[in-house]
Amino acid sequence: MEKKIEIVAYCAEWEDTFLELKSVLYQQIGDIVSAIEHVGSTSVKGLAAKPILDIDIIIEGYHVFPEAAARLQELGYFHEGDIGIEKREVFGRRDRFVPWNKNKRNWMEHHLYVCPKESKELARHLAFRDYLRKHPGTADEYAQIKRRLAKTAASREAYTIGKTAFIEGVLEKVFEDNE
């Protein structure tokens, strides 16, 4: 049985937890990455979300990826492949204490991705996040859609599919405005 989708009110601790995770990640791989970005709904102040952080680690290109993957593995992450989305490598966690460091801690659930800087999916993550940050009305509309879907969607897949038209509409607007 699938776990129920939970949408909760924005929590300021999400940003704090991201910054702590970012610090641990930078200590491990900061010398070989371009940036570490907080993306997804938890990165937008005031936006209701599933309490799961989405983190994109940005690399210059795939020549750096083997080293990044090896160092992330030392922290307890494991590479799951691109899971059908080109130039977005997914990393799972071996246990709830990942990333492992000297302060053994039960970390908040998070999704970790490694993307080369030219990744289309990275561009989409950043564009959607930045648009919602600048347009609180659109963020509120998105929160309403997510709350409704959390109550009515029969599965996580249905929940995700239900959000797609809204997300694509926002991204279409963003990328049209940038042409």
Structure tokens at 48: 């209701």
Closest by alpha carbon to 60, among 122, 112, 110?
Answer: 122
Mapped onto helix, strand or coil, the DSSP state of residue 53 is strand
Residue 5 lies in a domain: no
Residue of higher predicted confidence among 48 and 176: 48
Residue range 47-60: mean pLDDT, rounded: 97
Interval 11-37 mean pLDDT: 97
Mean pLDDT over all residues of the chain?
Answer: 95
Residue 71 resides in a domain: yes
DSSP code at position 130 = H
CB–CB of 28/85 below 8 Å?
A: no
Checking if the pLDDT of 179 tops 80, the result is no
In a domain, 126, yes or no: yes
Rounded Cα distance between 103 and 129, Å, is: 30
Burial 61-77 (b: 16+ CB within 10 A, else e): eeebbeebbebbeebbb
Burial class for 154, CB neighbours closer than 10 Å (0-12, 13-18, 19+): exposed
| Residue 156: inside a domain | yes
Tens of pLDDT along 57-96?
A: 999 999 999 999 999 999 999 999 999 999 999 999 999 9
State how far the Cα of 26 lies from the Cα of 20, in Å rounded to an integer.
10
pLDDT of residue 24 exceeding 60, the answer is yes
Range with the poorest average pLDDT among 26-35, 109-118, 169-178: 169-178
pLDDT tens track for 135-144: 999 999 999 9
Q: Is residue 78 part of a domain?
A: yes
| Residue 105 confidence class, pLDDT cut points 50, 70, 90 | confident
Which amino acid is present at 113? Y
pLDDT at 3 over 90: no
Q: How many domains is the chain partitioned into structurally?
A: 1
What gap in Å lies between CA 174 and CA 21, rounded to an integer?
Answer: 29
Q: Give the CATH number of the domain where residue 161 resides.
A: 3.30.460.10
pLDDT above 60 for 108: yes
pLDDT, mean of residues 162-178: 92
The answer to whether residue 139 is domain-embedded is yes
- Please, which pLDDT band fits residue 176 given cuts at 50, 70 and 90? confident
Please state the pTM of the whole predicted model: 0.94
Domain that holds residue 156: 13-177
